[in-house]
Structure 1
Amino acid sequence: MKWDAWSSELRARLDRFRDAALARGIPTADVERWLGLARPCLLLTCRAEGPVAGRFGGPVMLPPDVPVPLHDEECPEEPDHLIATLDFAALPEGATDLPLPSEGHLLLFAWPELEATEDPTCTSGHTVYVSVGTTVEERRVEYDFDAHFLVDENFDSNLRGELHVECDVSLPDHEILSNDPILVDHPRAKELRGVWSEWVRLGQRGMGRPRHKVRERCR
């Protein structure tokens, strides 16, 4: 199945966002420049009707010579948690403009207790790509929850469920700090991001129901 990356529905969503941003008094030039950042994307959710393209949580299946990514290279007792595994072969063709592999699996790891940072280049997780035919083995990963009390000991067991994929549109939706490079070309970025985030939170991007991103847990 091949999807139209820029369907009329997605263009209509951007038109509604444009109207909302202009209604906030943001100049037309700033809004249009911001809309130039829009890209087609795939939204992964456990509450959609689209095709299954992955799963939340484990098991952790890695090649024998690939270690579980660490939250901190100096702390081998702090491995990242497996958040989700994606199956590239299940992703609809033409739904994004990214040069993604046509097959294989992508494992998404993260540490759930990261604090906010003023460094916009700071990463908050790791990815591991496993090509088709690669020998893998299940890893048993243990965590010291007593030492990291902000992480619920049920965190990993609560990550479960199939991930369904939907065609969507993406605009910057990260916290914009005072030294973020995006402010150079988009001085009204904080306001524009605020309008977009509000739409996401209220479920206005699609057909009137909220979307659930990968960072949320399926129950």
Structure 2
Amino acid sequence: MKKKINRNYFWAETFIKELSSIGVKYACISPGSRNTALTLAVANNKKIKSFVHIDERCSAFFALGIAKASGTPVILLCTSGTATAELYPAIIEAYQQRVPLIICTADRPPELLNTGANQTINQNNLYKNHIRWFFDAGLPEPIQRRIRHIKAIAKRAVYESLVRSKGPVHLNFPFRKPFEPDEFTDEVDSEVIKAAELVLPDKKDLYKEN
């Protein structure tokens, strides 16, 4: 059986669903066009309580407060370009205090870098002096191997922020248009759908220190 999907939303939904399945309950969002897929994936997830802030700096400090109060990782989501720089003061605070944040920045595709494209900067390891771990997710690919990989990355993000390193982690997500879920880009088979819905390991196994 095949199903039509938007690869950006399918990718984002798989990642966010994995985070929620292993205990992530809160997200702070500053909406923009480039992070549409991630924003909708959070908004449509009933296990995650989301807070919307137009100002990225306010959103980041709000996320920091929730993470400190709850002791659990909080998703911090923003669009591409200079918006990412607005998160930095709160990220420094989180780094110094070892507060778990999962920073998810949307990005332009690599071919737009250094071309003068709007809201495009080099976001690769942008916060490198004040994060515990960084991962560039690469452009979405609706194939089994990549779907399983992005799910594994979600688990590692929680582990790095909460257990191993303790503090903010940064994941960068480049996207090409179209962003809206109802604008289909691919037709995938049942194996890919199944890969996005694999039964997860027990939550306590994730938090176990090796």
Normalising TM by the smaller chain, what interval? under 0.3
The TM-score normalised by the length of structure 1 is 0.21
Q: TM-score, normalised by structure 2?
A: 0.22
Structure showing greater radius of gyration is 1
